[in-house]
């Protein structure tokens, strides 16, 4: 990262709620802090800037996985950081399914120490149960005191409802949001993709969307009983959107996210058995994809995240049935979401302001004296994301070959700034 003085002249500001939103601005960044943010004055800052540049607040990826510690062959924290920066992400939630699992204070403190010098802010997510096995409650209170903001057993749906029944009132004491993967594990039954006409045509075992719906109903019931907030990770179906919409209309504290790959792709992508499209929850029908986009535009779905899930080649370049679930996506989170929604302001709201609000974190304001957490993109540039552009250590990426708009040029964090193109 470069901590020297950076001048930005005559760039458009995209930050809904900022008095200078959608105006041309001049900005000076030094030492990771906004020293000057003002309406553009010709000649006020000597800078030869390309046209069509836009300045936006840094993004927050609400769900990203790495491989360190324990699975360094998949992803290092450093390579995850590189991919995140290239995608305009300056903060992220780091999922707990590691070795050892992040289920105690020592593991949290070790991660915080390891990531303290990185240019992005990494928030370790604590496991709900010991080793994410769904049997014994993890050290929620101690992890919260160490700085954990949320708890999740990653892709485990926590079969033991009693454990969630105990965990919810516990979080009222410890603090921290409970995040759940919505699924009835009994209905997974070895499914490789969405159950429907497509899985029959491809000869692959399917799991019905009803499995997710039952998981959503359980979470809503728990939220209603305990009057405590619950967040549902990565919903993927029209039925889930409808259930959450009804819960919010009832006044329940239920929030949810959607993964960026579910906004662009459907089960039709599996026709060539490309394992990069083997994800969980599975890609569903186009009606589901449209319902997810509608849910974002209507405020039913709260955030978009990448569910960045790197795998080494031995776990992906195999027969479809044996391949691991997941795709990389942190580097394309901004571009994929923008492509799906076609709305810069809404995309910034969903990727920057709302994630931080859900976790009770302060906004990353583009104003004088604030930490310079931001990125600059060319609003009119069109590019194709290629494997040569990949910053992750792994290459299981469903977004290779996708044409995107709004290529990121540079990113700034509290540690300085750097060009990423």
Which residue's entry shows tokens 């977004």?
399
The SS3 call for residue 291 is helix
Cβ neighbours of 250 (radius 10 Å): 11
List active site positions.
Answer: 307
Spell out a b/e string for 168-207, using b for 16 or more CB atoms within 10 Å of the CB, else e: bebbeebebbbbbbbbbeebeeebbbbbeebbeebebebb
Pairwise CA distance, residues 258 & 157, whole Å: 16
Cis-peptide into 89, omega within 30 deg = no
**Helix 209-226 crosses helix 238-249 at what angle (to 10 degrees)?**
10
Which DSSP string corresponds to 237-269? SHHHHHHHHHHHHTT--EEEEEEHHHHH--GGG
Pairwise CA distance, residues 187 & 178, whole Å: 23
Which residue's entry shows tokens 């992220």?
92
Pairwise CA distance, residues 393 & 67, whole Å: 10
């Amino acid at each position: 990262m470069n901590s020297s003085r950076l001048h930005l002249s005559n760039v458009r500001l995209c930050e809904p709620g900022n008095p200078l939103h959608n105006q041309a601005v001049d900005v000076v960044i030094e030492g990771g802090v906004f020293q000057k943010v003002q309406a553009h004055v010709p000649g006020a800052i000597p800078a030869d800037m390309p046209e069509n540049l836009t300045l936006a607040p840094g993004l927050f990826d609400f769900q990203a996985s790495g491989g360190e510690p324990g699975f360094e062959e998949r992803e290092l924290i450093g390579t995850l950081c590189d991919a995140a920066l290239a995608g305009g992400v300056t903060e992220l939630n780091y999922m707990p399914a590691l070795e050892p699992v992040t289920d105690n204070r020592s593991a949290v403190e070790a991660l915080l120490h390891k990531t303290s010098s990185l240019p992005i802010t990494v928030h370790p997510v604590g496991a709900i149960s010991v080793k994410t096995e769904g049997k014994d409650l993890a050290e929620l209170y101690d992890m919260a005191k160490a700085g954990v903001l949320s708890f999740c057993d990653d892709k485990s749906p926590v079969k033991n409802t009693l454990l969630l029944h105990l965990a919810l009132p516990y979080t009222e004491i410890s603090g921290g949001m409970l995040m759940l993967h919505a699924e009835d594990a009994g209905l997974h039954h070895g499914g490789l993709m969405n159950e429907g006409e497509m899985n029959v045509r491809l000869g692959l075992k399917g799991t019905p969307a009803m499995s997710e719906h039952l998981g959503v109903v359980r979470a809503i019931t728990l939220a209603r009983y305990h009057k405590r907030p619950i967040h549902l990770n990565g919903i993927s179906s029209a039925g889930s959107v409808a259930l959450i919409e009804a819960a919010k209309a009832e006044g329940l504290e239920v929030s949810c996210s959607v993964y960026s790959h579910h906004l662009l792709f459907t089960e039709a992508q599996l026709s060539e058995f490309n394992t990069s499209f083997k994800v969980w929850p599975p890609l569903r029908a186009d009606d589901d994809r449209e319902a997810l986009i509608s849910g974002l535009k209507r405020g039913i779905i709260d955030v978009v995240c990448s569910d960045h899930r790197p795998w080494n080649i031995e776990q992906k370049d195999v027969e479809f049935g044996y391949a691991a679930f997941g795709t990389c996506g942190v580097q394309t989170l901004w571009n994929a979401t923008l492509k799906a929604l076609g709305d810069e302001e809404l995309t910034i709201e969903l990727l920057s302001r709302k994630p931080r609000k859900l976790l009770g974190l302060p906004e990353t304001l583009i104003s004088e004296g604030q930490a310079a957490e931001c990125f600059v993109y060319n609003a009119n540039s069109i590019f194709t994301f290629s494997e040569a552009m990949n910053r992750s250590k792994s290459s299981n990426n469903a977004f290779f070959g996708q044409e995107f708009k709004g290529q990121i040029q540079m990113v700034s964090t509290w540690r300085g700034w750097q060009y990423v193109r």
